[in-house]
Structure 1
Amino acid sequence: MAKINVKNTAVTVVSIDDTDYISLTDIAKYKTNDTSAVIGNWMRNRNTIEFLGIWETLYNPGFKPLEFEGFKKEVGLNAFQPLLLL
């Protein structure tokens, strides 16, 4: 595990099987200490959900596109709450 400094914010980088992963929670700290609100708002954005659907289609052989379509239809509704594991 390493840290990089981005705009005076320490961001954790974890390497697993020669692939680097950065911490969204650390990036969200740039805006506020209430990182769950920042990430939650980002996860409710239609563009974010569409991007994640494309990524899953390309890289996840177990992805279920029909289930995802139902999920995607709820994006933008006030009741839409994506599951966040922070």
Structure 2
Amino acid sequence: WISPQFKLYLIKEFQRLKDEELKQLGWDIRRNLTKINYRIHTDAIREHLIPVELSREQINLVYASEADLLNMALFGKTAKQWRDENPAEKGNIRDVANASQLVCLANLENLNAHFIQEGLGQPERLARLNQTAIQQMRLLVEDRAVKKLGGKNDEE
């Protein structure tokens, strides 16, 4: 015989665990959105922006610069600026992005790869990517399919 209190406790705890599992799954799906075009983006950088004579450190700076270009286009700040403004946060700016921002970021990665292949310079790419980010975010924040991806900060 199970007491009603214990049965209620088990049900509540099971529901809490299921809710936690769904939150984690939603975060994984949203975070993986940014990984979709990562290979396309990094290949374009490697093939068009990195001369063979660069050191490992210099190569890493090129990749970081391109990541910050995307951060500037979408969030209006670099990863370092965000870290300086949010010292208590774990992770990076992309880890706290909402589903709409992550969908937009995945699109910007692909578009930036195209712009790199076309030979556009960073200032021109930043301007175009920022305009695209503004347009897409206007649409994405209202999109029901994106909202279903859920997660924190989706109203921001």
User: What TM-score, normalized to structure 2?
Assistant: 0.23
Q: Highest relative contact order (Cα 8 Å, sep 6+), 1 or 2?
A: 2
Larger radius of gyration: 2
